[in-house]
Structure 1
Amino acid sequence: MTMHNIVNQEQWVAQRKALLVREKEVMRQQDQLARERRALPWVKVDKQYVFDTQQGKRSLSDLFEGRRQLVVQHFMFAPGQERGCAHCSYMADHTDGALPHLSQRDVSLVVVSRAPLASLQRMREEMGWQFKWVSSGDSDFNYDFDVSFAPEELAQGEVYYNYIGQPFPHEDAPGVSVFYQDDAGVVYHTYSTFGRGVEVMMHTYRLLDLTPLGRNEDALPYTMAWVKHHDRYQQAPAAKSCCTHA
């Protein structure tokens, strides 16, 4: 950390008020961006997707649970893995507290992974999570929404992720997708975000951005190298990155 200027309270307030002008400008820009996001056209979801849930087989429409809007966290957890991605877990750690507030705004949230339901439930219990976590392993859902990649795609050295062709080191990737269901039960895909866009679920980062040291990641071997499953912070150093956060 570089040495900062030390000033009196009057000087500090003057500089803080100057920064506040910039903060308000950025907030207005974010408000406008949100309006433009909501104005995007929608795509009708014609394919029937089936998910394994604690209540049995369910459709995408069922996951709305009677609400009109659905947010999906695409959680990296492939069949055969012991645990899902630590970075996706970091996202999921912020979810449970938001659920009652989202439901008041006509929004359901569900986490989706390709691993078998039994694996998801085991990790969910280990982590103390309460949100709904379902398996898409028997459907094309992950592939159709560009967060899972076939072996032949990976072998070519480039996959379609975050709206471009790029190298990617894993068979699954993180993302957030949003859907709307109308009164007739028709489901539409309205939005998806990937890469750094998934920071929308990382409230801890928003708080770190307020602190003097910030995220403090510049000297790390890769972004988010410090992040672990929350029950493993007292164990060995973080493992190799499980996703690209860029």
Structure 2
Amino acid sequence: MTASTDKTPPALHTPPVVSPQAWEAAREQLLIKEKAHTRARDALAAERRRMPWTAVDKAYAFDGPDGRRSLLDLFDGRRQLIVYRAFFEPGVYGWPEHACRGCSMVADQVAHLAHLNARDTTLVFVSRAPQADIERLKARMDWKMPWFTLTDGFDTDFGVNEWHGTNVFIRDGNRIFRTYFLNNRGDEQMGGTWNYLDITPLGRQEAWEDSPEGYPQTPAYKWWNWHDSYVEGAAPDKKWMEISDAGEAAFRNKGK
């Protein structure tokens, strides 16, 4: 006879069980606070878009699958760059089969990059592991983001030499500026398209946002696309414009 593996979980001190009507009333009360939280998050993102920039004058080099690249090269021709420093190198728990568990959870949550790219934004990961190890890890874990090898003091200079962290940069021609940085628990929310765009200086680039004058903005919803259907420079799909317009009108009328 084998020992039973059935483990009864401890009793929970659960909230009350109520009628559907009472549940809906409780949800409406909580929704007031949730909407306030959303507005506060939007206001914080608007303040973030007005943060000062600092110039990056030092040259940095990274090894990639196609050879040596500069920080400017990492933009891949786009205007904005997000760089996540992931711990994958000798001495990290799990090496060489795995990267840091926390960094791996971040990598697992990265949304399809086509949506960021459609907003003129590139996301890359960087680590000190050699490219052969990075490519092997990416294939094993089915990760698609560009992942480069650090070769100099980039991580030390930008606050991520002893821990993970996310730096944001923007370029004006060949000039590069650091615009934002987050680490510790700030990283745990990252991975989704919206959260990444909200930490960039240009934001989601949608018309409802509170952004400085002259920032690029287009109507919400209209630029969204299937990740395999973005075409650079193409106008939004006419049929999708009609559908989204009808949906927005129905939503507005419902609220009246």
* TM-score exceeds 0.5: yes
> Hey, what does 2:245 align to over in structure 1?
none
Indicate whether 1:121 and 2:140 are aligned. no
Q: Kindly tell me the number of residue pairs found equivalent between the two proteins.
A: 178
Among the aligned pairs, what percent are the same residue?
A: 42
2:130 is the alignment partner of 1:140: no
CA shift, 1:202, in A, is 5.1
Q: Which residue of structure 2 aligns with residue 220 of structure 1? A: none
Unaligned runs of 5+ in 1: 149-171, 207-246
C-alpha displacement of 1:38: 1.1
User: Matches of residues 155-234 of structure 1 in structure 2 within 5 Å?
Assistant: 172-182=162-172, 184-201=173-190
Q: Which residue identity lines up with residue 108 of structure 2 in the other structure? A: D
Aligned equivalent of 2:117: 103
Structure 1 residues 79, 49: CA separation in 2 closer, same or farther (over 3 Å shift)? farther
- Deviation of the 1:191 alpha carbon: 0.4
Measure, in 1, the Cα distance between the counterparts of 2:174 and 2:191.
Answer: 31
Whole-angstrom CA distance in 2 between matches of 1:73 and 1:98: 16
Partner Cα separation in structure 1 for residue 90 and residue 70 of structure 2: 20
User: Counterpart of 1:19 in 2: which secondary structure?
Assistant: helix
RMSD: 1.5
Distance 1:7 1:79 in 2: 54
In the alignment, which of 100, 125, 145 is matched to residue 85 of structure 1? 100
- The normalised TM-score by structure 1 is 0.69
Offset of 1:98 from its aligned partner? 3.0
Distance 1:202 1:104, change over 3 A: closer
Whole-angstrom CA distance in 1 between matches of 2:191 and 2:168: 17
Distance, in Å, in 2 between the alignment partners of 1:202 and 1:61 is 23
Partner Cα distance (1:60, 1:13) in 2: 52
User: What is the distance in 2 between the residues matched to 1:64 and 1:128?
Assistant: 22
Q: Quote the residue 1:214 is aligned against.
A: none
**Equivalent-residue separation in structure 2 for 1:185 and 1:65 (angstroms):** 12
Q: Any runs of at least 4 consecutive aligned residues in structure 1 with deviations exceeding 2 A, and if so which?
A: 78-81
Q: Distance in 2 between matches of 1:31 and 1:124?
A: 34
| Correspondence for 1:73 among 84, 104, 123 | 84
1:83-138, CA deviations, whole angstroms, 9 ceiling, x for partnerless residues? 3101101001122x3301001111000001112111111111111111111001x2
Give 3-state SS (helix, strand or coil) of 2:112's partner: helix
* Aligned-residue offset at 1:18: 0.5
CA shift for structure 1 position 176 = 0.9
* Residue identity opposite 2:84 in structure 1: Q
- 1:212 aligns to what? none
Q: 1:117 is aligned with what amino acid? A: Q
Report the TM-score, using the length of structure 2 for normalisation. 0.67
For the residue of structure 2 that corresponds to 1:129, the secondary structure is: coil
Which of 32, 42, 66 pairs up with 1:21? 32
Distance 1:177 1:200 in 2: 15
Match of 2:58 among 47, 51, 55: 47
Match of 1:94 in 2: 109
Partner Cα distance (1:2, 1:202) in 2: 33
Task: Say if 1:92 and 1:116 are closer, same or farther in 2 by CA, change over 3 A.
Answer: same
Query: What stretches of structure 2 of length at least 5 have no aligned partner?
Result: 1-11, 196-256
Deviation, structure 1 residue 40: 0.7
